Amino acid sequence: MPHNPLELAKQTEEIVVRDGKRPYRSISVEPFYRQIASARSVGCNLRCRFCWIDKTRDYPRRTPPDTRWLTPEEVYEELMRVSNNGIMTEFVRITGCEPTIGREYLLSFLEVASVTARVRKRVLLETNGILLGADESYVKALRRYINNLSVRLSFKAGPTHFQQKTGAKAEYYDYQLAALRYLEKHGIPFWIASMTRTAWFTSLDERRKLFLDIADTSNDPRDLFTRGLLEEEEVDLFGITRKRLMKKGLLPEEASQQDYEPLSASITRKVVEKLGITLEVATQESILEARQRVSDHIASLGKDGFIRLIQDSDFKVNPSCTGCHQCGKTVRHLVEDDSEIGKL
Ligand code: SF4
């Protein structure tokens, strides 16, 4: 039976927030975003089939003995301590299960992170967005921390497969879109992640519908799709992920790791075709000129025109191109490199 993720969040909060503390499985430097200090708690309001978090996701009471209950101050102190040496990114991250469960706790953490006298690190809040989309006042409350916060809003599936892939009732798909709307409305820095890269897991139709919904919801989808504010994730087949996928019949016998090319590349290809740009004779100058023409064309499109571009773009599966930009014959070298995410 599909569940109500708002109810589940309430029940989970009763378990994972106690006396101003939350249980943490780990606070350590992780190899993402050029090494980032990350705090991982337990308990989530979704049951994503591709999730690789252990059983503490579903059974937050059953935490292993090394779990530590920590106040927001203690978490921030620990994040600062572990990120002390040679960590390049300016962020620390709260992730792992759902950090928006326990609103007062999260806001206290952000308060600590914003007023501390020590060298400040910005906070990267990774969320599935359901609770933010359910309550605009929650997003409004984040405004106070905008100088010190970025949100990574992670879309777990397209509208056609949300229930199947997350276990939550289908109507809660819209809450992720509402979160996007509120984040933009209140000027909270954010970017989007979407579980859409792996071709065997996400059909063309599901992928396109998700992107169209995101584009339709956003004030200016051109920014999201062309300035590196869309991070597409792939399914990693860890042991527990395999089990979860198999249990739900979502793992094909031959799950080849073929990925879609990034959406920005698909969009660029479409514009290249429209403008009649030839890539076969690409030189450094012609690449720069072509890149400028592509970007001018996209800038000239209104929101509706850009949505039509997504509608018309081919989504290619691209198993061999690694995006090295060496051959000069693919659209990948025309895609802007100034990704905000890449700058982390
Ligand atoms: S939202 Fe994240 S932690 Fe929760 S089930 Fe989905 S992938 Fe796992």
Outline where DSSP puts E strands in 205-256.
Answer: 230-232
Position 90 scores a pLDDT of: 79
Task: State the average pLDDT over residues 211-227.
Answer: 91
Q: Is 46 in the pocket of ligand 1 (CB under 6 A)?
A: yes
3-state secondary structure of 152: strand
From CA 151, how far away is CA 190, in angstroms rounded?
Answer: 4
- Whether ligand 1 lies within 6 angstroms of the CB of 12 is answered as no
Of 213, 259, 265, the closest CA to residue 234 belongs to 259
Question: Of the residues 42, 156, 161, which should be mutated to test ligand 1's pocket, given the most ligand atoms within 8 Å of the CB?
Answer: 156
The model's confidence at residue 60, banded by pLDDT at 50, 70 and 90, is very high
Distance 94 CA to ligand 1 centre (A): 13
Query: Could you tell me if the CB of 44 is within 6 A of ligand 1?
Result: yes
- Average pLDDT of the residues in 220-235: 86
Residue 51 Cα to ligand 1 midpoint, Å, equals 6
Tell how far the Cα of 49 is from the centroid of ligand 1, in angstroms.
Answer: 9
For ligand 1, atom 2: residue with the closest CA: 97
193 in ligand 1 pocket by Cβ < 6 Å? no
Assess whether pLDDT exceeds 90 at residue 211. yes
Pseudo-torsion of CA 40, 8, 134, 198, nearest 10°? Answer: 60
C-beta of 51 in contact with ligand 1 (< 6 A): yes
| Tokens (6 digits) for 12 | 């989970």
Top-confidence residue, 291 or 150: 150
For residue 100 and ligand 1, the question of a CB distance below 6 A is answered with no
- In the chain, the amino acid numbered 79 is L
Question: Please, which pLDDT band fits residue 338 given cuts at 50, 70 and 90?
Answer: very low
Torsion of CA 156, 123, 26, 88, to 10 degrees: 110
Distance 128 CA to ligand 1 centre (A): 7
Centroid of ligand 1 to alpha carbon of 98 (angstroms): 7
Query: What's the pLDDT tens digit per position in 228-254?
Result: 788 999 998 889 999 999 999 999 877
CATH 3.20.20.70 domain locations along the chain: 5-195
* Ligand 1 lined by 195 (C-beta under 6 Å): no
Fold of 5-195: TIM Barrel (3.20.20)
Maximum distance among all alpha carbons in the chain?
Answer: 66
What percentage of the chain reaches a pLDDT higher than 90? Answer: 64
Averaged pLDDT, 167-183: 98
**What separation in Å is there between the alpha carbon of 50 and the centre of ligand 1?**
8
Helix (H) or strand (E) holding 70: strand 68-70
pLDDT at 282 over 90: no
3-state secondary structure of 178: helix
**Nearest atom (ligand 1) to Cα of 44:** 4
Nearest to 105, CA basis, from 30, 165, 23: 23
pLDDT tens per residue, range 7-26: 999 999 999 999 999 999 99
Alpha carbon 224 to its chain centroid, in Å, reads 12
- Single-letter amino acid code for the residue at 306: F
pTM: 0.92
333 lines ligand 1 (CB under 6 A): no
One DSSP character per residue, 185-236 reads HTT--EEEEES--BTTTS-HHHHHHHHHHHHHHSS-HHHHHHTT-EEE----
Q: Is the CB of 126 under 6 A from ligand 1?
A: no
